[in-house]
Chain A
Amino acid sequence: MTDVIVAPSKEREAGLAGIGSHRKRKEDPRLIQGKGQFLDDLKLPGTVFGDFVRSPHAHAKIKAIRADKAKAVPGIIAVLTAEDLKPLNLHWMPTLAGDRQAVLAHEKVHFQNQEVAFVVGEDRYAVADAIQLVEVDYEALPVVIDPKKAMAPNAPTLRDDLTGKDNAGQGPRRHPNHIFNWSVGDKAATDKAFAGAAVTVKEDIAYQRVFPCPLETCGCVASMDPVRGELTLYGTFQAPHVVRTVVSLIAGLPEHKIHVIAQDIGGGFGGKVGAYPGYICSAVASIVIGRPVKWVESRMDNLSTTAFARDYHMTGELAADKDGKIRALRVYVLADHGAFNAHAQPTKWPAGLFSIVTGSYDIGAAHVAVDGVFTNKAPGGVAYRCSFRVTEASYLIERMVDVLALKLGMDPADLRRKNLIQPEQFPYKSALGWEYDSGVYPAALEKALKAVDYKGLRQEQAEKRKRGELMGIGLAFFTEIVGAGPTRNCDILGIGMFDSCEIRVHPTGSIIARLGTKSTGQGHETTYAQIIASELGIPSDDIMIEEGNTDTAPYGLGTYGSRSTPVAGAACAQAARTIREKAKKIAAHMMEVSETDLEWDVDRFQIKGVPQKTVTMKQIAMAAYSNVPAGMQHGLEATNYYDPPNFTYPFGAYICVVDVDRFTGETKVRRFYALDDCGTRINPMIIEGQVHGGLTEAFAIAMGQEIVYDETGNVLGASLMDYFVPTSVETPVWETDFTVTPSPHHPIGAKGVGESPNVGGVSAFSNAVIDAFAHHGVTHMPMPHTPWRVSEVCHRLGIDK
């Protein structure tokens, strides 16, 4: 017990660099000095290399595969085909969506660049030479690329392996290329509202196929120890524990003999959640060969075969009163899932959380129907910073509100004002069944409008329009749904979507904490340490965070869907609180008082009313290993598995201003203001970094990114020559702002932010570009808003002369 003059609480609190601190990221010293340990940095002794023979065809029968010449290349060890995997029953693997996916194409290929054979050799160069020498005889088949043609009566059947099966994992199918039909909402009430509505609008709104393009491509090193019978799988995994369970289930290895390790990861954005054929083939090859096998995707492999995002073809309808009060929303979606139904999201929802599509607005009735179809494109479906189809949903409603504003002749800001959910309506039950936790929407909108001088911008726009100049102002007021999720309705392969944290306080008062999530660049080592710092009064610098090793970390569902802070962050706080409870007992023992006489003060317990009588958490830590009360176990640690009671609902108001060159179709984002409300802000600098990154990706999607296929299924532009990744030259300057509405059900009130800027950003850019043409009666323009597409509109309107 100390009996000294104690520094003021505020000073001590600042010294912790806990919740609210702008402290620098703990991971950056190693990352910015090139000392990160990424997958390809791993060099195990005796490693051999594997890579794929990929299909040039989008749809073809495989008549024969001849690998003799390839095997004759010096250094080549093995060439695996589906026939080799078949006896192990590994030529197909189950997908997270209840379908199956070819590991190596069996009898047929279903998309261009599909994996056909896996060549393993002593070095990458020999493997590259041998790949060229594997001869595959194909018989080309008719191709389906356009999802709108997939269910035509005469469409070719893509998945012969599903013939006779009326279920591909997510409900009944009504056509050989149909995957599922899913609907939600009150159809009768919605139809009734439309029938009686004064004003209705309808628009076809497509969200193109895109890909997140992380700096690091996917890869793994599989290392089988034949003596111990243990497989260590290093890889770029956003959800290492899930990978371990999946590998155990499909490879038949006992789960305790599988060690999955994810080191530093150079960006994931959802593309590193699922399992890829490279992982399975590397594991099989290592088991067969008895040496570590490394597989790393090339950029082109990554862009053309790793899980894509979007490809949602939506039709939105709004019904409203004359004064703009929205009465009902109706949405139909044709979802292109590619060749296999392999999207990664909570099992129950084939369209993810798309039913957040009523957005930030109080809409009485809504109905959504989604049909999923197969096409001859790479599988995937939810990657790219999108919280399970929330981006598509937010894009749809934010575009539709603008379409309605145009029809009503109302300002888009006024229309939003009129329809926003009001603060007193929270917790708000949406027409499609969600319970929004908290929000003060009108204040956020007004703050945003004031910050950019919205009235002034509209005035400037009116003047410019008189001069024939094009200027657009785009608004988005988005509501996210993140933190999947409550285990009563969220699971992956039956495993509830809780997450976990284990904290150990060492005798000297420093800490190691391990979590079931996995940072791919979000700064978990800093953020989680800040939460624990505030909860336990130990400086965040003295707290080490470890993730990604399934042998040491508690089981968790991983990082995606902005779930780390809402779920694992909550587990952090709860585990820390368990420790504090024990610490309090120890403190009472140390000070020989009753627990009820103690109160917590930043980093110590003090005797109520006697502020100089304190013991610090650091002193308690030592006591936990040397001087515990009778009957108490030694040590100071706790594990928490957190099952969130609800999702969290971050929101934000974004405003984008663009100038359009009517002669070339080029757009210039002059200003972008982003107000985010993610509840309690743990590290404002990290939040801003997340918002900057997310907005840059949103900008890329809205303005240029698209994975394009030609009619015969060739994937075009799958290289960074064509696929738009903006540099600092193209990227606009971001203005960030915030309001704080804590989540009432989260232990520290935090909501998550990683995906918000992408969810809200895309709509704001797109709305701005289209708004530039509003006075010409243009209601919608398809993304991405590349110069040529924008120029087409200028040309059609005759304003490019």
Chain B
Amino acid sequence: MIPGNFDYHRPGSVDEAAALLGRLGEDAKVLAGGHSLLPMMKLRLAEPKSLIDLGAIAELRVIREKDGVLQIGAMATEAALIASDLIRRHCPLIAEAAALIADPQVRNRGTIGGDIAHGDPGNDHPAIMLALGASFVLRGGKGERVVAAGDFYRALFETAMKADELLVEIRVPALRPGTGASYQKLKRKVGDFAIAGAAAVIGIKDGRCGHAAIALTNVGPTAVNAEAAAALLVGKAIDEALIGEAAKLAMSACAPTADLRGPVEYKTRMAGEMTRRAIREALKRAKGG
């Protein structure tokens, strides 16, 4: 439980961090809250030659709202998300989901950017970001680019980020009136990753579903965007039968792996159950309940 040797860098600005990353490239790992990376290093599953600690870069912790879009610094901690008035006002789902991550100690260190960029399908923010239609600002040697959450996840621990790129900001459109969102997470105990999780965002107009997004946690190599399930809802008045159909479509999008949380079949069923619960709750909220 002792990591191998590594060099430690603690840049004071994004520019400095980007330059370091450009220079050190694939030998370096970016350290955010450390709650995924450090355990891997202690088990020597990860043995980076260099660590670039973003902890001293104050600008990466800022949360603001601009033109109906939440701009969340990648180093904002889960605890900061939970405490943020801006997030509670414009997209309370993020704070609700953050409160379901791990435990208070982890939430005081763990960051939204680390959770997103690690590419672990067990992390909760990826599905939330898919459902909310978020986009990610990446900073590399050649400047900045913005990638939609839907284009970000490639495979297990593999994202659209290049070796010299940093995730600096998360952009989330504020929820519009008449929209409800919910995240349902089934877990074995407090602090655990999800057995299965489902995020649902539903907009209601004139009693019918105007728009919908559903995304799932820990039931595939990446967070799963259950597009077919969401599409089924759009344009219809949502009732229990339709919710059941949508859950079935969500289940068919799952490809979990068996582990001690349960076998594939169980996890798939639970993805369905979480989807049902998330849709019900999102619908209730969309209707002002």
- Contact between A724 and B266, CB atoms less than 8 A apart: no
Complex formed: what's the CA distance from A132 to B41 in Å?
13
A124 cross-chain contacts in B, Cβ below 8 A: 2
Q: Say yes or no for A75: interface residue by CB 8 A criterion.
A: no
Q: Say yes or no for B90: interface residue by CB 8 A criterion.
A: no
Q: Which of B44, B103, B188, B190 contacts A787 (CB 8 A)?
A: B188
Given known pairs A129-B5, A300-B1, A795-B269, the reply for A729 and B262 (CB within 8 Å) is: no
- Contact between B262 and A787, CB atoms less than 8 A apart: yes
- Contact between A791 and B191, CB atoms less than 8 A apart: no
Closest Cβ–Cβ distance, residue B79 to chain A (whole Å): 17
Chain B interface extent, by class = 20 to 34
- Contact between A788 and B189, CB atoms less than 8 A apart: no
Given known pairs A124-B2, A664-B273, A788-B266, the reply for A730 and B195 (CB within 8 Å) is: no
Given known pairs A664-B270, A729-B189, the reply for A128 and B260 (CB within 8 Å) is: no
Q: Which of A132, A717, A727 contacts B44 (CB 8 A)?
A: A132
Q: Which of B103, B189, B260, B270 contacts A717 (CB 8 A)?
A: B260
- Contact between A726 and B260, CB atoms less than 8 A apart: no
- Contact between B1 and A708, CB atoms less than 8 A apart: no
How many residues on chain A are close to B (CB under 8 Å)?
30
Closest Cβ–Cβ distance, residue B277 to chain A (whole Å): 9
- Contact between A724 and B195, CB atoms less than 8 A apart: no
In the complex, what residue of chain B is closest to A791 when comparing beta carbons? Answer: B266
Given known pairs A664-B270, A795-B269, the reply for A787 and B186 (CB within 8 Å) is: yes
Which applies to chain B's interface (DSSP): helix, strand, loop or mixed? loop
Closest Cβ–Cβ distance, residue B194 to chain A (whole Å): 12
B189 cross-chain contacts in A, Cβ below 8 A: 704, 724, 726-727, 729-730
Closest Cβ–Cβ distance, residue B120 to chain A (whole Å): 13
Interface residues of A in 705-749 (CB under 8 A from B): 708, 716-717, 721-722, 724, 726-727, 729-730
Q: Say yes or no for A663: interface residue by CB 8 A criterion.
A: yes
Q: Write the A660-676 contact mask toward B (1 if CB under 8 angstroms, else 0).
A: 00011110000000000
A704 cross-chain contacts in B, Cβ below 8 A: 188-189
Complex formed: what's the CA distance from A800 to B195 in Å?
17
Q: Which of A128, A717, A727 contacts B2 (CB 8 A)?
A: A128
Q: Write the A763-801 contact mask toward B (1 if CB under 8 angstroms, else 0).
A: 000000000000000000000001110011001000010
Complex formed: what's the CA distance from A768 to B262 in Å?
22
- Contact between A792 and B266, CB atoms less than 8 A apart: yes
- Contact between A727 and B263, CB atoms less than 8 A apart: no
Interface residues of B in 237-283 (CB under 8 A from A): 260-263, 266, 269-270, 273
- Contact between B261 and A788, CB atoms less than 8 A apart: yes
B188 cross-chain contacts in A, Cβ below 8 A: 704, 724, 786-787
Q: Say yes or no for B4: interface residue by CB 8 A criterion.
A: yes
Given known pairs A129-B4, A298-B1, A795-B269, the reply for A722 and B191 (CB within 8 Å) is: no
Q: Write the B26-59 contact mask toward A (1 if CB under 8 angstroms, else 0).
A: 0000000000000000001000000000000000
In the complex, what residue of chain B is closest to A720 when comparing beta carbons? Answer: B191
- Contact between A786 and B262, CB atoms less than 8 A apart: yes
Q: Say yes or no for A299: interface residue by CB 8 A criterion.
A: yes
A128 cross-chain contacts in B, Cβ below 8 A: 1-2
- Contact between A788 and B1, CB atoms less than 8 A apart: no
- Contact between A663 and B273, CB atoms less than 8 A apart: yes
Q: List the count of A-B residue pairs having beta carbons below 8 Å apart.
A: 53
B192 cross-chain contacts in A, Cβ below 8 A: 721
B1 cross-chain contacts in A, Cβ below 8 A: 128, 298-300
Looking at A666, A726, A787, the one whose CB has the most chain B CB atoms below 10 A away is A787
Closest Cβ–Cβ distance, residue A724 to chain B (whole Å): 6
Q: Which of A300, A717, A727, A792 contacts B191 (CB 8 A)?
A: A727
Complex formed: what's the CA distance from A727 to B2 in Å?
26
Complex formed: what's the CA distance from A242 to B265 in Å?
50
In the complex, what residue of chain A is closest to B4 when comparing beta carbons? Answer: A129
A132 cross-chain contacts in B, Cβ below 8 A: 4, 44
- Contact between A788 and B195, CB atoms less than 8 A apart: yes
In the complex, what residue of chain A is closest to B3 when comparing beta carbons? Answer: A128
Q: Which of B190, B195, B260, B263 contacts A729 (CB 8 A)?
A: B190
A722 cross-chain contacts in B, Cβ below 8 A: 260
B263 cross-chain contacts in A, Cβ below 8 A: 788
Closest Cβ–Cβ distance, residue B37 to chain A (whole Å): 15
Given known pairs A787-B188, A787-B195, the reply for A716 and B260 (CB within 8 Å) is: yes
A299 cross-chain contacts in B, Cβ below 8 A: 1
Looking at A708, A724, A727, A791, the one whose CB has the most chain B CB atoms below 10 A away is A791
Interface residues of A in 294-320 (CB under 8 A from B): 298-300
Complex formed: what's the CA distance from A502 to B237 in Å?
81
B195 cross-chain contacts in A, Cβ below 8 A: 787-788
Closest Cβ–Cβ distance, residue B160 to chain A (whole Å): 28
Closest Cβ–Cβ distance, residue A740 to chain B (whole Å): 36
Q: Write the B128-170 contact mask toward A (1 if CB under 8 angstroms, else 0).
A: 0000000000000000000000000000000000000000000
Complex formed: what's the CA distance from A299 to B39 in Å?
13
- Contact between B2 and A125, CB atoms less than 8 A apart: yes
Interface residues of A in 557-587 (CB under 8 A from B): none
Closest Cβ–Cβ distance, residue B124 to chain A (whole Å): 16
Interface residues of B in 185-227 (CB under 8 A from A): 186, 188-192, 195
Looking at A299, A664, A716, A724, the one whose CB has the most chain B CB atoms below 10 A away is A664
In the complex, what residue of chain A is closest to B2 when comparing beta carbons? Answer: A128
A664 cross-chain contacts in B, Cβ below 8 A: 186, 270, 273
A129 cross-chain contacts in B, Cβ below 8 A: 4-5
Closest Cβ–Cβ distance, residue A216 to chain B (whole Å): 15
A724 cross-chain contacts in B, Cβ below 8 A: 188-189
In the complex, what residue of chain A is closest to B262 when comparing beta carbons? Answer: A788
In the complex, what residue of chain A is closest to B266 when comparing beta carbons? Answer: A788
Complex formed: what's the CA distance from A800 to B265 in Å?
14
B273 cross-chain contacts in A, Cβ below 8 A: 663-664
A730 cross-chain contacts in B, Cβ below 8 A: 189-190
Complex formed: what's the CA distance from A132 to B3 in Å?
11
Interface residues of A in 118-134 (CB under 8 A from B): 124-125, 128-129, 132
Complex formed: what's the CA distance from A132 to B2 in Å?
11
Complex formed: what's the CA distance from A298 to B42 in Å?
11
In the complex, what residue of chain A is closest to B196 when comparing beta carbons? Answer: A664
17 A-B pairs with CB atoms under 8 Å apart are: A125-B2, A664-B270, A664-B273, A704-B188, A704-B189, A708-B260, A716-B260, A717-B260, A724-B189, A727-B189, A729-B189, A729-B190, A787-B186, A787-B188, A787-B195, A788-B261, A788-B266
Q: Which 9 A-B pairs have the closest CB atoms?
A: A788-B262, A128-B2, A729-B190, A788-B266, A298-B1, A717-B260, A722-B260, A663-B273, A730-B189
- Give 7 A-B pairs besides A786-B188, A788-B263 with Cβ atoms closer than 8 angstroms: A300-B1, A665-B266, A666-B186, A721-B192, A730-B190, A787-B262, A788-B266
